[in-house]
Amino acid sequence: MISVPSVVNFIDLGMSLGLMNNVSNYITDTDPLKLRKATTATFLISSIISISLLLLFFLAFSFFDIKGIFGLTDHADFKGINLMIGLFAIAYLIGAPFNMVNNFLIGNQQAYFVEIGKTAYSILQLLLFLIAIHFKWSPYIFSVLYILSISLINLVIFFIVFFFLRKDISPSRRYIDTNEIRLVFKNSMKYFVLQLMTILFLSIDPMLIGKFLSTDSVTKYSIMFRVASILTLPVVMYSSQILPLINDAISTK
């Protein structure tokens, strides 16, 4: 079950990738409100999808054979697993719309802010993992702590960017435009299937560890991954600084 968090690197399932790949076009558009309409449309679409999936999850959850899907034994903590899945879904889907700020920053060639956010939630995850281990919490809680930390950091970045740094393009119901919603949805949907396939591949390694070793091994794997993410920060930050220059060089070639 701890392998589930490996899918959340693509937390909004590609719904804001349409925005990311068109930020430069929105900025140079003759309509000065084009970018604000796009951020509004993207946030609205992501919110509607997240709320719909959350409602669908709670409606359909009772029909799923959780024991059969995950190969649980009769001795497994079935109630604990049910609770973990419910909390994970809530934290995942509520936080999903706020991930659009990361794709906006990448599209605006400010990916270094995104890497700072990744480092922040890696540190937060590590602290929460250590607290959970110290107090001997159920191993199933690690999935919830993982996604909760990502959602919290994304929420903080969202408010910093759209309510302090770039209030001029923050999502607002005053700028809801049906044509823009249709365009953003069309641009984003072509990445949706790609994201689902990527999720499948990214979830394989911890699943194999859990299957052939143990859930404790997956927990250790998750902790080591967090530590490695923090230690490799200088390299990651340097790469993010170079990315805008590469994009500029390609676009002006």
Q: What was the pLDDT predicted at 232?
A: 62
Contacts of 251 (CB under 8 A, 6+ apart): 24
In single-letter form, the type of residue at position 47 comes to S
pLDDT at 77 over 50: yes
**Euclidean distance between CA atoms 215 and 210, whole angstroms:** 5
Q: What was the pLDDT predicted at 161?
A: 93
Mean pLDDT of the chain: 74
* Residue (of 241, 252, 249, 247) closest to 114 by Cα position: 241
Confidence of residue 63 (pLDDT cuts 50, 70, 90): low
Confidence of residue 156 (pLDDT cuts 50, 70, 90): very high
| Other CB atoms within 10 Å distance of the CB of residue 135 | 8
**Euclidean distance between CA atoms 125 and 130, whole angstroms:** 9
pLDDT tens digits, one per residue of 89-127:
888 888 888 988 988 888 887 877 887 888 888 888 888
Q: For residue 215, how far is the Cα from the chain centroid? A: 23
pLDDT tens digits, one per residue of 160-176:
999 998 888 999 988 88
Q: What was the pLDDT predicted at 30?
A: 77
* Residue (of 208, 123, 134, 141) closest to 2 by Cα position: 141
Model pTM score: 0.72
- Count of the separate structural domains present in the chain: 1
Q: What was the pLDDT predicted at 64?
A: 64
Contacts of 34 (CB under 8 A, 6+ apart): 26, 180
pLDDT at 70 over 60: no
| Residue 26 lies in domain | 4-251
Within 13 Å and on the Cβ side, how many CA atoms surround 190? Answer: 7
